[in-house]
Amino acid sequence: MSNNAIQIFDTTLRDGEQVPGCKLDTKQKVVIAEQLDILGVDVIEAGFPVSSPGDFKSVQSISKIVKNATVCGLTRSVENDIRVAAEALQYAKKPRIHTGIGTSESHIVHKFKTTQEDILERACAAVKYAKSFVEDVEFYAEDAGRTDNEYLARVCEAAIRAGATVLNIPDTTGYCLPSEYGAKIKFLKENVKGIEKAILSCHCHNDLGLATANSIEGVINGARQIECTINGIGERAGNTALEEVVMVLKQHPYLNLDTNVNTSMLYGMSQLVSESMGIYTQPNKAIVGANAFAHSSGIHQDGVIKNRETYEIIDPKDVGVTESAIVLTARSGRAALAYRAKNVGYELTKLQLDEVYANFLTFADRKKEIDDNDIHQIIETSKVYQ
Ligand code: KIV
Ligand code: ZN
């Protein structure tokens, strides 16, 4: 793996599936996993096997069909969780156990009602136990975002000594600012003994809308894996959106950080996940929303028709969208109307356009969006065309 390669760890089927209202059966999960594998993600977190017989079955079925990616199962720092995960993953070509425990003061005091030393011991024991089943063990320090950096560094060191090769630093509550999260990763990179034997992983939640920014700051500061979900789905406000981090890295090549993802599949992947889960994607969602490449104001439309790059930083084809949309509304100008009219077969002169445009505005004030049938009707009923 090159030093600039960013591993994409997809957790759509685990953290993403925790989204309220999500309905996915094993068959649908297998289809999504197959597509994620073709998309080129490095790791597929297939589920939390001990959580239910259905999830166990899903992780097992996914393990059998995934050809390239590592297949991962989540556990708590509990022996039975780890044993069950190892069993669910037994058919995977490249199995990974993802185990961990809460490390913030809040988790230690309120959730575990214990001490930092006890958490450290439980973390080590879990990693060692997981290592007795698989070579590839990832350790998560839950709520690392609110964990004291010195203590976090001690936990990371202990996890590496116990055999962890990936250290997940989750901002579980989506609390960190990008500068704080980046500084945390830098601190760990510089202060954890043995860090050269492991990679740091970003796992950011979107409670303040900062998940993508935090993950990007994380990799700029030395992390080499991003944990994310398609469409950014997940608990509460969701996880880092896969399509966003992948496109940020692609559109900023000077960062020199690459992923293996075939970006032309992103739109299709988004549709597949949203349709299978029954979770609607907001129209203004970056990269994959219905409006991500739609232009509706006259000034923007005029620019895009002259040269796409005036108002688009991504070629829609790069993410699997056939073309940008010039949406006709009462805010549109003559350039957009002429463009759409030409697409349906009318080459309008300047004079004709002026008159058709006046009719168009009256029509568009009544109807929110003008479709191709409306264009025919507007033009055919304009005097200049009779
Ligand atoms: O957000 C989080 O802390 C998690 C861990 C269980 C990895 O999802
Ligand atoms: Zn999470």
Per residue in 65-111, pLDDT tens?
999 999 999 999 999 999 999 999 999 999 999 999 999 999 999 99
pLDDT exceeds 70 at position 327: yes
pLDDT reported for residue 385: 62
pLDDT reported for residue 23: 77
CA–centroid distance, residue 84 to ligand 2 (Å) = 20
Protein residue whose Cα sits closest to atom 7 of ligand 1: 140
ipTM, 2 dp: 0.99
Ligand 1, atom nearest to 172 Cα: 1
pLDDT reported for residue 55: 97
CA–centroid distance, residue 195 to ligand 2 (Å) = 23
Nearest ligand to the C-alpha of residue 170?
Answer: 1
pLDDT reported for residue 1: 62
Report every protein residue that has its C-beta within 5 angstroms of ion ligand 2. 15
Pocket probe for ligand 1: among 12, 76, 138, 142, the residue whose CB has the most ligand atoms within 8 Å is 142
Protein residue whose Cα sits closest to atom 5 of ligand 1: 142
Question: Taking a C-beta distance cutoff of 8 angstroms, is the pair 180, 147 a contact?
Answer: no
Per residue in 14-70, pLDDT tens?
999 999 888 799 999 999 999 999 999 999 999 999 999 999 999 999 999 999 999
| pTM for the model | 0.96
Pocket probe for ligand 1: among 12, 176, 203, the residue whose CB has the most ligand atoms within 8 Å is 203
The chain-wide mean pLDDT, for the chain, equals 97
386 band by pLDDT with thresholds 50, 70 and 90:
low
Per residue in 300-324, pLDDT tens?
999 999 999 999 999 999 999 999 9
pLDDT exceeds 70 at position 219: yes
Give the residues surrounding ligand 1 with Cβ less than 6 Å away: 15, 140, 142, 168, 170, 172, 203, 205
pLDDT exceeds 90 at position 149: yes
